Structure 1
Amino acid sequence: MNKLKLGTSNLEVSEISLGCMRMAQLSKKDARYVIENAIETGINFFDHADIYGSGKSEEIFSDAIDMNPTVRESMFIQTKCGIRDGSFDFSKEHILSSVEGSLKRLKTEYIDVLLLHRPDALVEPEDVAEAFKKLKDSGKVRHFGVSNHNPMQIELLKRYVKEDLITNQLQLSLMFTPMIDAGLNVNMQQEPAIVRDSNVLDYSRLNDMTVQAWSPFQYGMFKGVFVGNDEFPEVNQKLQELAEKKGVTDSAMAIAWILRHPAKIQPVVGTMNPQRLADIAKASEIELTRKEWYELYLAAGNKLP
């Protein structure tokens, strides 16, 4: 498994992350198998959120591996906060209490990376800055980032937050590419030319923020998986063709497509199937040519100007 440097930090992490949202559905034994299998494939970065399984995903994770200082030092843990039942909350009090809850459930003294999960329309960046400083000074959180934020929202936070924001977790897959489409259709009138995210991909590259791709196998927003889906014959045919050529699965090829982008994007893979995860991890070994990357992009139904 290849490594990448997370943002401006000194963290050298696996270029594929395991998303633990569905871990709450597993038994302790099955969760242990998933985590150990991930580590064996070279994955050392685990993505959580306080709302996953209403906190149970974090609990199962720590219980499954009998969390202790030795185990803890062998991995990187990221979690997110800011989503409440029916609203969002970036208040200092909520951020601090959310982190305390995650630390307790994960049975650890520190979080490697804390992300603000979804933008809060009522955000007071001074409040966020105070929370981050307290968490940093206490050693409870080592690095910070955001999720689903656009450049101006990040700039507003950076005006007050002194700590580097090293990551931005954003939806991206071969069948969900608005952050790429707009950059290819500059000054055009067709639908893909619409800039929906304030050029967040280019902003991230200019500011050394690592983009983490969530739902890398989904089309639309939670509409379903496109890999192996009969509704998308052209892209699946191309995925299978290249997968056979490279000796990997079509799912691995979909991840390899993301990894090929020079922004050094880190896909967050949420499968709880150990064999599928091991197969997907082989994407780290795949090299796609520029021609192959564009062939997949076009097979996904995109057009070039």
Structure 2
Amino acid sequence: MRTIKLGNSALEVPVVAVGCMRINSLDKAEAERFVQTSLEEGANFFDHADIYGGGNCEEIFADAIHMSDSVRENIILQSKCGIRKGMFDFSKEHILASVDGILKRLRTDYLDILLLHRPDTLVEPEEVAEAFDILESSGKVRHFGVSNQNPMQIQLLQKYVKQPIVANQLQLSITNATMITNGFNVNMENEAAVNRDGSILDFCRLNDITIQPWSPFQYGFFQGVFLGNEKFPELNKKIDEVAEKHGVSNTTIAIAWLLRHPARMQPVTGTMNVERLRDCCRASEVQLSREDWYGILRAAGNVLP
């Protein structure tokens, strides 16, 4: 699989990240097969969060991959913290305690990347900086990032945090692409011109922050997948047409559409189906033409000005 540099770090990562949010839906044999398939495809980057399955997903993953020192050397682990029941918490104490819990469940001494999950409006960035310094100096976390944050929130953190922010995990798919579409509706009197995210796409590109699209097959906020959905007949017709041209599945094209963007994104899969996972990984080998990329964008209902 193709690789990219994560943010401005020296860490080489596969262009497709394997999301483990639903691994607790698999039995032991299925989980082992899922993890092994990921490795066979060169997708050795695994995305977690301390809230997935109440932490159980990290434990299941560690069992499925038969975590050991030799295994750990050949995989990249990312996890997230900051979401608690009924609140968000970026306090120093919570970040440090969360990481200790994550490491214990994953049966490892360190995370390659830690992301702050959803913005905490009560954040004291000085505390985050203290937590990051402790985690870095102790060797528990090697790289740091955020999730679902806009430019000003990142800049506020960066005023105090000395470590580079290497990634920002954001919801993005063919049908949830406002961060892309508002860029060519500048100064227009239409809904598409509304800047809802502070130009986060351009901000991340300017600051060498890798965007990690989550829910790359979802429309709305977990309302369902758009592939094969009768609500999106024109979109599916176009995706199927492009898929046939390349001799791949519609799943592959949905990921390839994200990878075609010059921002050098790293989509995070969510499927637990090994064949769909293989299809996601095949997107690494597909380069969409400009005509097909824009054709898919328009088929999703986006009107070019």
TM-score of the pair, normalised by structure 2:
0.99
Task: Tell me by how many angstroms 1:147 deviates.
Answer: 0.1
Q: Conserved in 2, the CA contact under 8 Å of 1:83 and 1:89? A: yes
C-alpha distance in 1 between matches for 2:133 and 2:26: 35
Is 2:72 the counterpart of 1:87?
Answer: no
The CA deviation string for residues 62-82 of structure 1, in whole angstroms up to 9 with x for no partner, is 011110010001010000000
Is 2:112 the counterpart of 1:119?
Answer: no
4+ residue runs of structure 1 moved beyond 2 angstroms? none
> Match for 2:79: what amino acid?
T
C-alpha distance in 2 between matches for 1:115 and 1:280: 23
Structure 1 residue runs without a partner (length 5+): none
Q: Residue 21 of structure 1: SS of its match in structure 2? A: coil
Q: Which residue of 2 aligns with 1:5?
A: 5
C-alpha distance in 1 between matches for 2:28 and 2:129: 37
C-alpha distance in 1 between matches for 2:73 and 2:28: 21
Task: Tell me by how many angstroms 1:124 deviates.
Answer: 0.3
* C-alpha RMSD of matched pairs (Å): 0.6
C-alpha distance in 1 between matches for 2:162 and 2:27: 40
Q: Which residue of 1 aligns with 2:97?
A: 97
Give the 5 Å matches for 1:54-203.
54-203=54-203
The CA deviation string for residues 84-114 of structure 1, in whole angstroms up to 9 with x for no partner, is 0010000000000000000000000000000
> Match for 1:139: what amino acid?
G
C-alpha distance in 1 between matches for 2:184 and 2:255: 21
Q: Which residue of 2 aligns with 1:35?
A: 35
Task: Tell me by how many angstroms 1:275 deviates.
Answer: 1.1
Q: Which moves more between the two structures, 202-211 or 222-231? A: 222-231
C-alpha distance in 2 between matches for 1:295 and 1:245: 14
Q: Residue 266 of structure 1: SS of its match in structure 2? A: coil
Structure 2 residue runs without a partner (length 5+): none
Give the 5 Å matches for 1:278-293.
278-293=278-293
Q: Conserved in 2, the CA contact under 8 Å of 1:249 and 1:280? A: no
Task: Tell me by how many angstroms 1:125 deviates.
Answer: 0.0
Is 2:49 the counterpart of 1:49?
Answer: yes
> Match for 1:252: what amino acid?
T
C-alpha distance in 1 between matches for 2:272 and 2:141: 27
> Match for 1:124: what amino acid?
E
Q: Conserved in 1, the CA contact under 8 Å of 2:88 and 2:120? A: yes
TM-score of the pair, normalised by structure 1:
0.99
> Match for 1:294: what amino acid?
Y
Q: Conserved in 1, the CA contact under 8 Å of 2:16 and 2:280? A: no
Q: Which residue of 1 aligns with 2:207?
A: 207
Q: Conserved in 1, the CA contact under 8 Å of 2:132 and 2:161? A: yes
> Match for 1:33: what amino acid?
R
Q: Residue 126 of structure 1: SS of its match in structure 2? A: helix
Q: Which residue of 1 aligns with 2:225?
A: 225
C-alpha distance in 1 between matches for 2:255 and 2:113: 23
C-alpha distance in 2 between matches for 1:275 and 1:291: 28
